[in-house]
Amino acid sequence: MEMPQSPAAASAEWWRQAVVYQIYPRSFADSDGDGLGDLKGILSRVPYLASLDIDAVWLSPFYPSGLADGGYDVDEYRDVDPQLGTLADFDEMTASLHGWGIKVIVDIVPNHTSNRHAWFREALAAPKGSQARDRYIFRDGQGPDSAQPPSDWASVFGGPAWTRVPDGQWYLHLFAAEQPDLNWANREVRDDFLTTLRFWSDRGVDGFRVDVAHGLAKNLAEPLEPLGVNGDLADSPLSHGNHPLWDRDEVHDIYAEWRRVFNEYDPPRAGVAEAWVHPSRRPRYASPDGLGQAFNFDLLEANWKADEFLRVITDNLADVQRYGASTTWVLSNHDVVRHATRYALPAEDYLSSTRNAKAWLLSNGTSPELDRGLGLRRARAATLLMLALPGSVYLYQGEELGLHEVADIPAEQIADPAFLRSGGAEKGRDGCRVPLPWTADGPSFGFGTGPAHLPQPAWFGPLSVQAQEHDPASTLALYRQALSWRRKLQAAESLEGIPGTNGQVLHFGRPGGWRSVTNFGPRPVPVPRGTVVVASNPLQDGLLPADTTAWIITAGHRFPGTGRGRLPPGPGFLYCRTGRGSRPSDRPARLPCSPRCRERAAGRLGPAPRVPDRRFGVRLTGAGAGGIGVPEVAIWRTTWWPAATSWRSAVIPAASCIRCRSRTCPCSASATTRPEAPARAVRPERCR
């Protein structure tokens, strides 16, 4: 069955409001019964992915790897791990996903290779000072016989960031010892990654998730700067470009080169940076001259509190308005405790939701006791809230089943280097990487024909896809319903009006009359007027119960793409790529730009993109399209003009009343063709 490509998927900016589903390939589906998920397993589940109505999948690494860090230790960047399949399998999987209208994003790990990579083996065999060593970061140690590491730098996974090699030198690894850091000042390293980007782009990959994007550029000038307690960027006063290891300005030169490669393709390949940096530093990673998008983990860090969520939303949307990037929303991924579990714990004011959950993990999930039902209820509400926000959303496999974290993996089965290198002071991330349950029973709940590579708990059975498939109250059904409504309701990349909270209820609106309301508090509250189209839990006597989100279509909602509201592409549609110099409301009856707009002067008005440009567009219809009079003009608002936040997508008949928009309204205003912004609909009776 072929799924039609949505207009958004066909656009060069398809990623701006995309729903991306993260697959951790080794734990998704195992086609050959070896306990490890593989590419043929993913292929077999493509119809399932399509049933979720997502726009893209992001695959965590599937490259050959010694698995010292779940595949983030790459042996060879342009191949598939033989345990996971072949390049031919990759091509088949990609073709199938594309056939269903799903884009493919792959993970690129540029900060470090694995210690089994041909370059590192060459470096170990080569002498001090050789070209082979210069691809990595080798240094002599301190003290007599170079016996002390070259600096006090610590690995993110615990222990020193330096390991000694037999000839006495040390190499740097900001993560596990099996993940030697590359030297990005070396031209050969840079060129090789450009080759890798082209290799996957030529195979049809649509985008790249860039691992540890803020780590590549380092200040390695001697003497190496001591960090003492300032190793962790999050806690460090050395942020804002001054830290020797993280988030240095030079890193953006690398991504400018990558962007040039992305733009060699049509549509340009997309990029999303994993950059754990101060929010003020995020926009550069997300700039159109760089990777284009950067993860924003703020929602994932927030506790289940209306004011925390509100702050995250308003801050991030203000940032994107300022910088023109599209934001990203994440509640779960392969590195953090699942959000159903985080919200099942009492919030601690002094800890973010993820840190709080890490502390709980250390007790093997025994203390404090989880309130699983409450956690899932809140997780469903949080997801529905997130899916209503402008920007793109990254979902993590298994969250659509409402899976909780598996906290009691026996120590001998834990694979995460964070556990091993910290001497057990960190439990690690295996608990969210336990293979998915597809069926209610079987040796690995349908993941494969044999046992899975991490132990699955008995409670996975009732949460399996099979168990939820036909249950309309299941979390799977909620995700499907919400994702399908999101596609139908999707509007300009903005909020309408100002989001607000009274401490208990958080509400916001999207253009076109789509509202999301979340009750964070303990008491049921009234639902705003309109039609509830999705709710994360059933309403109670018409009230929104505790820990629940509902989406409401307010009266007058117009579905996008149906000729009113946001317009489908069509002949006679003109748009300006920049829109500089004019407010859309000033010139509804003409081309959208002022004479100051350079694009217009250069005659670069072109046919419409498949989705409206993020700034604004105008469609001339009927006689107007032929240049005689302008009977109808459609405008959608921009994310660039804060002053225009109340502007609605609208179709405004030129000979109609500017207030009630009726063609037959007798009031004097109907003579004008110029609607004043904000063009608020008024009931015709009032107008008369």
What is the set of active-site residues?
211, 264
**Shortest CB 435 distance to ligand GLC, Å:** 17
Q: Which is nearer to ligand GLC, 212 or 660 (CB)?
A: 212
User: What single DSSP character describes residue 467?
Assistant: H
Is cis: bond before 279, omega within 30 of 0? Answer: no
272 interacts with ligand GLC by CB under 6 A: no
Between 298 and 335, whose beta carbon lies closer to ligand GLC? 335
Structural contact between residues 630 and 611, judged by C-beta atoms closer than 8 angstroms: no
Which of positions 589-648 make contact with ligand GLC (CB under 6 A)? none
Q: Does 211 help bind ligand GLC (rule: CB under 6 A)?
A: yes
For 390, residues 6+ apart whose C-beta sits below 8 A from its C-beta are 17, 317, 326, 327, 491, 492, 493, 494, 495, 510, 639
Number of residues located near ligand GLC, criterion CB under 6 A: 9
**Which residue of 30, 38, 69, 426 would you call a contact of ligand GLC, by CB under 6 A?**
69
> What DSSP letter does each residue of 75-127 carry, written as one string?
S-TTS--TTT--HHHHHHHHHHHHHTT-EEEEEE--SB--TTSHHHHHHHHSP
Give dist(CA 582, CA 593) in Å, integer. Answer: 5
Q: Among 42, 108, 212, 387, which residue interacts with ligand GLC (rule: CB under 6 A)?
A: 212
DSSP state of 685: H
CB of 212 to ligand GLC, least distance (A): 5
Q: How far is the CB of 175 from ligand GLC (least distance, A)?
A: 5
Say whether residue 420 binds ligand GLC (CB under 6 A).
no
**Nearest approach, Cβ of residue 441 and ligand GLC (Å):** 31
- CB-nearer residue toward ligand GLC: 208 or 520: 208
- Select 52 or 176, whichever has its Cβ closest to ligand GLC: 176
CB 69 to ligand GLC: min, Å? 5
The reply on whether position 182 binds ligand GLC by CB under 6 A is no
DSSP string computed for 161-220: SEEE-TTS-EEE-SS-TTSPBB-TT-HHHHHHHHHHHHHHHHTT--EEEETTTTSS----
Buried-exposed string 304-319: b where 16+ CB fall within 10 A, e elsewhere: bbbebbbebbeebbeb
Three-class DSSP category at 416:
coil
Of the two residues 295 and 551, which places its CB atom closer to ligand GLC in the complex? 295
Of the candidates 173, 126, 129, 128, the residue with the CA atom closest to the CA atom of residue 149: 173
CA distance linking residue 410 with residue 413, whole number of Å: 5
Instruction: Please report how close the Cβ of residue 123 comes to ligand GLC at its closest, in angstroms.
Output: 19
Residues near 627 by beta carbon (within 8 Å), at least 6 away in sequence: none
Of the two residues 190 and 334, which places its CB atom closer to ligand GLC in the complex?
Answer: 334
Place of tokens 């056939």: 99
Phi, psi of 96 (to 5 degrees): -65, -45
CB atoms within 10 A of CB 266: 7
Parallel, antiparallel, or unpaired: how do β-strands 392-396 and 19-23 relate? parallel
Question: Least distance from C-beta 187 to ligand GLC, angstroms?
Answer: 23
Query: Judging by beta carbons within 10 Å of its beta carbon (0-12, 13-18, 19+), is residue 221 exposed, middle or buried?
Result: exposed
Token match 């470096």: residue? 123
Residue 334 or 339 with smaller CB distance to ligand GLC: 334
**Closest alpha carbon to 622 in 570, 544, 549, 684:** 570
* Contact set for ligand GLC, span 274-293 (CB under 6 A): 274
Q: What is the C-alpha separation between 371 and 626, in angstroms, rounded?
A: 64
Q: Rule CB under 6 A: choose which of 62, 72, 262, 285 binds ligand GLC.
A: 72
Q: In the complex, which residue's CB is closest to ligand GLC? A: 72
Instruction: Note whether 335 binds ligand GLC by CB under 6 A.
Output: yes
Q: CA angle, 565 as apex, 562 and 567 as ends, to 5°?
A: 60
Q: Which of 240, 214, 243, 223 is nearest to 231 (CA)?
A: 243
Amino acid at 243: H
Which listed residue (24, 63, 175, 640) binds ligand GLC by CB under 6 A?
A: 175
- Which CB sits closer to ligand GLC, 174 or 505? 174
| Residue number, 60 or 474, with CB nearest to ligand GLC | 60
Distance, in Å, from the CA atom of 588 to the CA atom of 582, rounded to the nearest integer, reads 11
Of 58 and 175, the one with the shorter C-beta distance to ligand GLC is 175
Residue with tokens 């004043």: 676
Question: Which two tokens mark 685?
Answer: 């009776």
> Which one, 211 or 301, has the nearer CB to ligand GLC?
211
Instruction: Give the shortest CB-218-to-ligand GLC separation in angstroms.
Output: 15
Taking the complex as a whole, how short is the minimal distance between the CB of residue 352 and ligand GLC, in angstroms?
16
CA angle 229, 278, 637 (to 5 degrees): 175
Q: How far is the CB of 454 from ligand GLC (least distance, A)?
A: 15
Q: Quote the least distance from Cβ 234 to ligand GLC, whole Å.
A: 13
**Touching ligand GLC, residues 96-155 (CB under 6 A):** 109
Please give the residue ranges that form the binding site for ligand GLC (CB under 6 A).
Answer: 69, 72, 109, 175, 211-212, 274, 334-335
